[in-house]
Amino acid sequence: MAPILALYPGQGSQSPGMALDLHQASKQVKELFSLASEAAHTDLYGLLSTAGEEDLKQTRNAQLAITLASRSAYLRLREHGYAFKAHSGFSLGELAAYAGGGIIDDFTLFSIIEKRAALMDEMSEKATKTYGELGMAAIIGLGFAQVQDAIKASNLDGVYPSNDNGPAQVVVAGLAASITLLKPVLMEMGAKRVIPLKVSGPFHTPFMEEATDSFLAFLETQTFCDPKELVISSVDGSIISTKEDARKHLARQLAYPVRWTAVLAKVKELTASNTLSIAEVGYGTVLSGLCKNSGLDLVCRSLGTESAIQEFAKETTI
């Protein structure tokens, strides 16, 4: 069986009831649910069993649930005998990647998520009170550099590229009014669509800068280790080499754009010289889709449910 290069999804991949099939299938996953619930001071099995879509959209609930689903899928794959070669995660997913790469344990992981979500909500609320309505929008048909050029040409304040998802998909965030005014500029430059996103804050922009120092101070109180396996940061596509490097990247991530294009370039480099199975280890198909549309000829298998993992095991052990 080829080792797995694991990609872990970020916020937006949540769904009611996710990971409950993994919980039912595995004693280790049941133990993970208990540990995560203790670290987060929340009954996460109860949350995933009863929460609807709106409840799961709340930053804290979404981040805890998504990470629990990713770590549950990781455990199930390990139980099937799969080894992991490298890890990377989209924004929030970077935390799951750190756990997969041996930088942090699961209790630390969920403790950090609890703090991260609180800081993000706090900064979003503060920014809204200070600047007014904020938002995010997905730009389809333009690349990151083109969107940067459009923002510069428009002379609009308070809007920034926040997610570099692929060669023709970028997310911007900031003042809702500025995003509205930016839309015709983007369309004139060749954007196919500008889609408002239902997200609670201007994440990965300078609006979150104030939170980075306090988050880093918190991370300094948590136990980190040097990576035991390869970990690629979504902040800049670089390899995390030390525990200090890991802390700095996690703190910077709050206010810096997600550079997923750089991550996939590194994934392409690794798969060119190694026999690896690329897998979205967590619920949903967002990252599999970004691989497909990357222009890099990357095939990513979605392995976030018990049935998908069982089918993958049958195919790869024949």
Average the pLDDT over 241-260 and give the result: 97
pLDDT at 30 over 60: yes
Determine the pLDDT at residue 200: 62
pLDDT at 193 over 90: yes
Mean pLDDT of the chain: 94
Q: Domain 4-125+206-316 falls in which CATH fold?
A: Malonyl-Coenzyme A Acyl Carrier Protein; domain 2 (3.40.366)
Confidence of residue 272 (pLDDT cuts 50, 70, 90): confident
pLDDT at 318 over 80: no
Select the more confidently predicted residue: 197 or 27. Answer: 27
- Residues found in the chain: 318
Residue percentage of the chain with pLDDT more than 70:
99
pLDDT at 108 over 90: yes
pLDDT tens digits along 130-158: 999 998 999 999 999 999 999 999 999 99
Residue percentage of the chain with pLDDT more than 90:
90
Instruction: Please enumerate in sequence order all residues whose Cβ is within 8 A of that of 152, keeping only pairs 6 or more positions apart, or say none.
Output: none
Residue 238 is which amino acid? S
Domain extent listing, the chain? 4-125+206-316, 126-197
- Sequence-ordered alpha helix ranges (H) in the chain: 20-25, 27-40, 44-50, 53-57, 59-79, 93-100, 106-131, 144-154, 176-189, 209-219, 243-253, 260-273, 286-292, 306-316
CATH class of 126-197: alpha beta
Ramachandran region, residue 195 (left: φ > 0; alpha: ψ -120 to 50; beta: rest): beta
pLDDT at 220 over 60: yes
